[in-house]
Structure 1
Amino acid sequence: MAFSRRQFMMRTGILGLAAAAPLQALYSRAAAGQTVRGVGYGPLIPDPAGILDLPRGFKYVAFSKTGETMSDGTPVPGAHDGMAAFAGPNGAIILIRNHELSPDSDTATIAPATKLYDSLSKGGTTTLVVGPGPERKLLKHYVSLAGTYRNCAGGPTPWGSWISCEENTSTPANDTSVRVPHGYNFEVPILARGPVNPVPLKAMGRFNHEAVAVDPKTGIVYETEDNGEGLFYRFLPNRPGRLTEGGVLQALRIVGMPQAITKSGFPLNTPMAADWVTIEDFDPVEDTVAIEGFAKGAAQFSRGEGIWYGNGEFYFTCTDGGASEEGQVWRYVPGASADEGGTIELFVEPNDPEVLDNPDNIVVTPFGDLFLMEDGDATQYVVGVNPEGQLYQFARNALNENEFAGGCFSPDGKTFFVNIQTPGITFAVWGPWSS
């Protein structure tokens, strides 16, 4: 899961090219809105089925489509979103998939009343078990979390679970379509065989959650917020791996730049020292977590969405960040201890919709690139970013203009799983990754 530019260039024998074509020059061209393209895996080949265009040599299978009957007898819910893959028993792959469903959605994650967090809410997660072997056969799929609100993304944990995030902060006081407050994270063990008891992780904050990523060395959980004036958070658990036992919620502040607005005007590839401010009212009656953090000097990130951990670093997207509001990717490197703030830097900002169109979910690939799932206008792509900062197109939604979501890799690195959110389809993709 490495993503070190220097290590990448040393492995591929091109470290000496840095003098002739400095990385900073690539980033500077990107910041100026100029196209910075990499070759990637070559041109995309039109899919005869008109669903998913991929480079030559790659194949896919589609499964668990909205409306199909699952192993538990309930229909597959719609709005497939964030997802992660885990190693299961006997070589199987376990996928846990979010469903970004609101109370007024046409479909729902269906569970017994005792397993619903909110009887009026339709979001949640489904678990898919994919068999070993080259055929990537779906063995079973079923509901694993229900009664939540707009489960957009989330993230895997190193202790064997998926954190599913609510992207809504409705309460009964301001929204008659809900019966309990929303805006929380929920944990789903990978071996859950049916709907779990939905326990809101309140100490992790009540806000417009998007995604999380865990530092496996410390157990600290990093969180993004899908809000134009959102913050970048970390949760220091009282007991790593036991999120229900509480902890401390903090928001990132750029040293020497209190209340920084990061949407535009920041140089690329320029690490900035960071520290963290503590959020006292982490479970407010009103949606005030970001307001408190910003008042204490925390930096604003415009619509923070997907986040992923790799090689001791965290990469997260801001969907409408950038001078042209086409999206950014930020890189955070933690300090040696929780008392050290680490560094934050702007990693990608092409300002060109032909290169990158509003990235949402993100994954660090086993071969060292980033894969970004677009959620913009017109044709949508899975966009790769290589360690030189060059962008390339890996997959195209040939079915419609709906977003990609949930990109993740199997534990052995051979299969890429991804969703088209609507009409709700999950794909397994494989091919000549080594090329």
Structure 2
Amino acid sequence: MERRDFLRAAVIGSTVATLGFSVTRESIAYPAKTGPSPYGALQAADANGIELPAGFASRVIARSTQQVAGTGFTWHSAPDGGACFADGTGWIYVSNAEMGTGAGGVSAIRFDANATITGAYSILSGTTRNCSGGPTPWNTWVSCEETDFGYNFETDPWGAKAPVRRDAMGRFKHEAVACDPDRKVIYQTEDTTDGCFYRFVPTIWGDLSSGTLQVLVESGTTLSWVTVPDPDGSSTPTRDQVAGAKIFNGGEGAYYRNGICYFTTKGDNRVWAYDAAANQLHVAYDDNLTSNPPLTGVDNITGAAVGDLYVAEDGGNMEICIITPDDVIAPFLRVTGQSASELCGVAFNPAGNRLYFSSQRGTSGSSSGGITYEVAGPFRTAL
């Protein structure tokens, strides 16, 4: 059931009386409203042209078509979705390449405990328009092709295992995935104006080689998951196979936490919250429902352990915005001098004290001008 206001009057303590289930602070006051950032106002742009809160600093870690410092590896063009994986005392950041036919793929950068770059390499190549994706609980990266009849590819962030195409997850204009280990399903978004919201139910959790593709269906105020008859979609697109499938205007990023899958739609500048436990759908942010909305052109989304969400803009004024558990939305950073680009690939390192993202076309406005950044600073660990 879609609601723009999550029964504010019914909130008693930490429960919603009319629903009879526990909810966290992050789910009781949708939609988010414009307000002050917990990190304060943005300061003047730094040497990299990034406006940040006081105490934060940025650095460039890679530029498209140039070698990653100290590695000899050339960074891919058009960097897009990304994620971090723990690697001993360090970590690995993976990044998609949203390039045309056969020129897409995924690259990775390895860091030690001091955030020093120790290596860079390819983990997938020869694919098409790898837009976003998502990490799995078993430490793989699912990279999604944003093309009609596109595939998902499961990749190894360490580059030791060959990537595997996961046909059972369906063929459509994939954007992002988010794993729900509680229900053992994987949510998927579709980047078309008449796209759907899917979930893949693996036959065996941890193995994406087989399973069932389902689509979210809306009938009145009731939501249900219905099996897609032909996940291959060759004769009929997956979004057109099930009557009553809920339509979303340009599905983008997805992120799962504490029973809720947050996902974004760029056509209407919304952040959605699918409450899996209650099987309810809420609008967590809508630029039409707040004054002076800071977030437009919604795209990739990630979260911090403290409960904050971070949403990148494709367009707008090149910001990454924060949505707090108190449902306040504000700019966290702004990239200047790159109005012909988009921000993407937002991801925290395992410790949560470094944020990675890319400007897909950088200052040049070309896919060969992409820039990947790191932001370090006093990210909050408590509310």
Deviation at 1:217, TM superposition (A): 2.5
Aligned match of 1:183: 150
Contact 1:207 1:287 in 2 (8 A): no
Aligned pairs (5 A) from 1:330-349: 330-335=272-277, 342-349=279-286
TM-score (norm 1): 0.75
Q: In the alignment, which of 215, 224, 230 is matched to residue 251 of structure 1?
A: 215
Aligned match of 2:108: 127
Aligned CA distance change for structure 1 residues 74 and 62 (closer, same or farther; 3 Å): closer
What do residues 74-110 of structure 1 show as CA deviations (whole Å, max 9, x unaligned)? 5211111100101003x1111111111113xxxxxxx
Aligned match of 2:376: 430
- Aligned partner of residue 110 in structure 2, secondary structure: strand
Q: In the alignment, which of 300, 307, 310 is matched to residue 371 of structure 1?
A: 310
CA distance in 2, matches of 1:151, 1:433: 29
CA distance in 1, matches of 2:46, 2:139: 38
Aligned pairs (5 A) from 1:136-151: 136-151=115-130
Aligned pairs (5 A) from 1:311-322: 311-321=258-268
1:328 aligns with 2:270: yes
Aligned match of 2:226: 277
Higher strand share: 2
User: Which letter does structure 1 place at the counterpart of 2:274?
Assistant: Y
Aligned match of 2:189: 224
Contact 1:333 1:344 in 2 (8 A): yes
Contact 1:64 1:141 in 2 (8 A): no
CA distance in 2, matches of 1:286, 1:184: 16
- Aligned partner of residue 60 in structure 1, secondary structure: strand
1:420 aligns with 2:359: yes
Aligned match of 1:411: 350
Aligned CA distance change for structure 1 residues 54 and 205 (closer, same or farther; 3 Å): same
Contact 2:79 2:95 in 1 (8 A): yes
- Aligned partner of residue 204 in structure 2, secondary structure: coil
Q: Unaligned 5+ residue runs, structure 2?
A: 1-7, 15-27, 362-368
Higher helix share: 1
Aligned match of 1:102: 100
Q: In the alignment, which of 146, 156, 159 is matched to residue 138 of structure 2?
A: 159
CA distance in 1, matches of 2:352, 2:326: 21
Contact 2:73 2:120 in 1 (8 A): no
CA distance in 2, matches of 1:363, 1:228: 22
What do residues 16-46 of structure 1 show as CA deviations (whole Å, max 9, x unaligned)? xxxxxxx75x74xx7xxxx622333111112
Q: In the alignment, which of 204, 213, 216 is matched to residue 239 of structure 1?
A: 204
User: Which letter does structure 2 place at the counterpart of 1:342?
Assistant: N
Aligned match of 1:63: 61
User: Which letter does structure 2 place at the counterpart of 1:58?
Assistant: F
TM-score (norm 2): 0.85
Q: Percent identical across equivalent pairs?
A: 35
Deviation at 1:51, TM superposition (A): 2.2
CA distance in 2, matches of 1:250, 1:373: 28
1:39 aligns with 2:4: no
Contact 2:71 2:118 in 1 (8 A): no
What do residues 203-228 of structure 1 show as CA deviations (whole Å, max 9, x unaligned)? 11100000000012233110000010
Aligned match of 1:289: 238
CA distance in 2, matches of 1:395, 1:286: 44
What do residues 106-125 of structure 1 show as CA deviations (whole Å, max 9, x unaligned)? xxxxxxxxxxxxxxx10000
Contact 1:233 1:252 in 2 (8 A): yes
Deviation at 1:398, TM superposition (A): 1.5
Aligned match of 2:174: 209
* Superposed CA RMSD: 2.4
Contact 1:40 1:394 in 2 (8 A): no
CA distance in 1, matches of 2:282, 2:130: 28
